[in-house]
Amino acid sequence: MIFDSNELLCTNLLTTPKPEVGTILVTGATGYVGGRLVPELLARGYKVKVMARVYTKDLQQRWPQAEIVVADALNLDELNLALKDVKVAYYLIHSLLLGPKKFEKADILAANNFRAAAEKNKLDRIIYLGALGDKNSHLSPHLRSRLHVAEVLQLGEISTTVLRAAIIIGSGSASYEILKSLVKNTPILFLPYWAKTKCQPISIRTLINILVGVLETEGTEGQSYDVGGFEILTYERLLKIMAKIQNKKRLFVHTSFSNFKFYSYIASFLTPVPAPVIKTLFQSGKNEVLCNNEGKLPNSIYKPVTFKETVLRAMTREELDKVHTRWSDEYPRAYELAIKLKELEKPPYYISAYSLVTSKPANSLFSSFCKIGGDEGWFNQNWMWKLRGILDSILLGVGTSRGRRSMNTIRIHDVVGFFRVEELEMNKRLLLRAEMKLPGKAWLEFKTNEENTLNRLTISAYFEPDGWKGKVYWYNFLPFHHIIFSNLIKNIERRS
């Protein structure tokens, strides 16, 4: 199966759908939270506009009933068009991936633009998901920026509901994958002082229920709510609970060494999450993110669950291979803007192709090569792929341990190790674009073609070098290509 069906999360909500609210715009729909919110709204009968910075076919394929609008929140004109005829907007945007020097300014500009466009288009309401954190304490830049965005949106004429959440735990969430992998992959865990910081993690399922619930609950307009899980726990406790769930005996050692950069770098080798993402999360780890229950959400929307229950749910989703969105959907930033193979003016400078003819049917060859990466590895010479990934992590690249969202389903833009799916043609072709650090641009293509009554399976590596460094790189890796691809093609055929 290429595309997966979306399983709904709002099955036990006590609120009733109100499609009469009019058209709803979901920003950040390509992200972790937005990607789960859209199918819920559609299933409840709402008219939904999905806002993305780049139009891609897969968005329409994922949500055929939704209208896709293209706009960058940093561009007021584009926003004005996107918000036309919209009545309610979910604001799920952050600019974190622009890096520490730029993201705060971009967050404020985007929020100001959004407020202006919402006023111009006379929206009834904005619902913003931000983050917890005490504004009177010394907040990390990320948490500080989330609070500023809330203030900017609330300054306007449009009634804005602000939901403030702590870390989100769920299948595919970065925080969950970091905690799980740290415990799984290292027998000794060194804990800096900030491991004692308290937090109130929330399950993604609860959060989606809340996002939909406030839309359907009168009186929540213009209010601010802190939303969190059932318990207040330290990060150390989260790791210990995780170790218990995984049935792993781990040694926890407290240390006075607390450098965020160092811990993020080391954690990037132990988890699928790259160092820059981990660093942002760790930096916020020094701030308590706890609910201050001043304005309480009605019980009809809000049923917090324990951290243990949340983790068990996430693990079940992984076992069922039903992870719908993942942090890697959004990393690295603006990957949608990367040059595509078909956009090159000339064919790539280097092409090496391997092929064989087989009696196996095209659909089984296709499903065999679509399983590449992730838990099943690269079918042969896995150590070589791993080594290349480690090299990439050392250079602060994406690494190969990102794995994949699902083993049995694949869609355009999914991550596959250090590649990303660029094109996908059912029973014919899978084109992967390399996202690792390279002196050039690289693609890997798997293709089947009918040849008389048989099928030809072809693997092609394409490389467009950046100057002499790229050329040296290509010739250095050519012998490895030969070993890897000639074995890979046989394994794909054998497994199909």
User: What is the C-alpha R_g of the chain?
Assistant: 23
**Interaction between residue 92 and ligand NAP (CB under 6 A):** yes
Distance CA 161, CA 414 (A): 32
Amino acid at 351: I
**Closer by beta carbon to ligand NAP, 172 or else 470:** 172
CB of 306 to ligand NAP, least distance (A): 18
Amino acid at 418: F
**Closer by beta carbon to ligand NAP, 188 or else 337:** 337
What backbone torsions phi and psi does residue 69 show, to the nearest 5 degrees?
A: -120, 145
**Interaction between residue 40 and ligand NAP (CB under 6 A):** no
Distance CA 153, CA 27 (A): 14
**Closer by beta carbon to ligand NAP, 216 or else 329:** 329
Structure tokens at 382: 């896995």
**Residues 142-161 interacting with ligand NAP (rule: CB under 6 A):** 146
CB of 96 to ligand NAP, least distance (A): 7
DSSP 134-195: -TTS---HHHHHHHHHHHHHHHSSSEEEEEEE--EESTT-HHHHHHHHHHHH-SEEEE-GGG
**Closer by beta carbon to ligand NAP, 325 or else 455:** 325
Binding region for ligand NAP (CB under 6 A) out of 22-30, 249-257, 357-365, 379-387: 22-30
DSSP secondary structure letter of residue 42: H
Chosen residue from 10, 13, 31, 42 binding ligand NAP by CB under 6 A: 31
**Residues 302-331 interacting with ligand NAP (rule: CB under 6 A):** 330
Distance CA 302, CA 34 (A): 19
**Closer by beta carbon to ligand NAP, 72 or else 216:** 72
What backbone torsions phi and psi does residue 25 show, to the nearest 5 degrees?
A: -105, 130
Beta bridge partners of 69: 51
**Interaction between residue 33 and ligand NAP (CB under 6 A):** yes
Chosen residue from 40, 72, 422, 435 binding ligand NAP by CB under 6 A: 72
Chosen residue from 131, 178, 211, 214 binding ligand NAP by CB under 6 A: 131
Name residue, tokens 């008389």.
452
Size of the site for ligand NAP (CB under 6 A): 28
Continuous segment of H or E residues that includes residue 267: helix 260-270
**Interaction between residue 175 and ligand NAP (CB under 6 A):** yes
Chosen residue from 10, 69, 93, 139 binding ligand NAP by CB under 6 A: 93
Answer for the pair 218, 16: CB distance below 8 angstroms, yes or no. no
Distance CA 103, CA 323 (A): 28
Q: How many residues does the chain have?
A: 496
**Residues 106-125 interacting with ligand NAP (rule: CB under 6 A):** 110
Distance CA 75, CA 93 (A): 14
Binding region for ligand NAP (CB under 6 A) out of 58-66, 69-77, 367-375, 418-426: 69-77
CB of 152 to ligand NAP, least distance (A): 13
**Interaction between residue 66 and ligand NAP (CB under 6 A):** no
Chosen residue from 69, 118, 123, 167 binding ligand NAP by CB under 6 A: 167
Answer for the pair 127, 89: CB distance below 8 angstroms, yes or no. yes
Chosen residue from 18, 53, 87, 471 binding ligand NAP by CB under 6 A: 53
Q: Which chain residues interact with ligand NAP by CB under 6 A?
A: 27-28, 30-34, 52-53, 72-74, 92-95, 110, 129-131, 146, 165, 167-168, 173, 175, 330, 334
